[in-house]
Amino acid sequence: MKIVISIISVLIFIGFYGFSTGSKKYIIGPNDDERKRIIKQKSIIQSWSTLFLFLLSNFLYDLFNLRDSRLSAIKFPELFYLIVLVVSYFIFLRINNRKMSA
């Protein structure tokens, strides 16, 4: 059963990666033209940069002991960072689509 779950999760990851990058190298993936691939790649870079800024600000808060007691109520900070990553990807995808629309 664990093997089946592992195989399914790998296929889902490959499908999501192929869709989000627009790459044709994977079995599951869109047939995007060059413009759409560039838009998706720029969105990925911008979303990872946003996540890096969140992590950097979190580190600086810890380093200078500026942590507020209200912020410690987050039980799963990893989930928060994943949500920031995914939401920022779709926001930047929309922004880049508008910038580079034909």
Query: What pTM does this model have?
Result: 0.73
Tell me the average confidence (pLDDT) per consecutive run of 10 residues in the chain, 102 residues long: 86 75 65 84 94 91 81 78 92 94 73
CA nearest neighbour of 25 among 39, 14, 12, 11: 14
pLDDT at 43: 93
pLDDT at 71: 64
pLDDT at 48: 94
pLDDT at 29: 61
CA 39 distance to own-chain centroid: 14
Q: Is the dihedral of CA 52, 48, 91, 84 positive or negative?
A: negative
